[in-house]
Copies of this chain bind each other. A is one copy, B any other.
Amino acid sequence: MSSYEINPIGQVRSCFEEKFCIPRQPGLLKHAKGWIELSDEFARPEMWRGLEDFSHIWLHFIFHAEGHEKWNPMVRPPKLGGKTKKGVFATRSPHRPNQLGLSVVKLEKIIWEPRVKLLISAVDILDKTPLIDVKPYVPFSDALPNSVGGFTENQTLTKVQVQWSEKAQTQREYFLLNCSYLFDFIEDIVSQDPRPAYMARQENHEKNYGVRVYGLEVKWHMKGHTATILEIENLSPESVQRIVDNFGDDC
């Protein structure tokens, strides 16, 4: 069988600047925002007319991060605690033949001028991911209420309790009116406990964590089932303005 050459139509720009903390499925973090940065050929308004009437869109993309080109016949889904193996085609693992990714995201807004830009949310995609197609989510054919989800059923999302340190709380209060979704998002990613499953199972586990999101560096401390947000590095009037400019201002 012959091979096919796929050319990106643009990039997915996302709040997630590293793989750590990206949720395992889209939709888990509603304040995880992003936008579609289209290359010149595809940034013409007529190609997108009518998409504004859809609430959700499918993004086809390439899992491009380092290491994603390697795959194995079986994988250990994180949802199963990393202990049980499933066939690679029974999972959505990014380590797969052809490195094809698929996510449904919420379409927040289309900016038409001077070039088309799609604002999206509930994203689970790494920043600067090559985008190869966009399709409308068609509820009639895509939303299957009676479908059965194998090992993804009955998932219990264990959340940890989140506290704000005095320093982080001061930062939050200072910038809350400029961009409230930023702080909801930070609390959400920390509360979803992004630690590897084997660490989360250790009762006395205690460690500092950090992640780059929205151009900021969020630092927190984990002790047992409680997370304390320590500080948000790079938080400034300029960095907050950059977030609002890029990701939208619906705070």
Contact = CB atoms under 8 A, between A and B. Distances in A.
A79 to B, nearest CB: 10
Contacts of A99: 4
Which of A45, A86, A142 has the most chain B CB atoms closer than 10 A to its own CB?
A: A142
Contacts of A224: none
A81 interface: no
A140 B1 CA distance: 35
A49 B74 contact: yes
A55 B151 CA distance: 12
B92 A25 contact: no
A179 interface: no
Interface in A173-219: none
Counting chain B CB atoms within 10 Å of each CB, the highest count among A54, A85, A143, A147 belongs to A147
A58 B136 contact: no
Interface stretch (A6-14, A159-167, A225-233, A235-243): A6-14
Interface of A: 1, 3-9, 11, 25-27, 39, 42, 44-56, 58, 60, 62, 73-74, 85-92, 96-100, 102, 104, 130, 132-153, 155
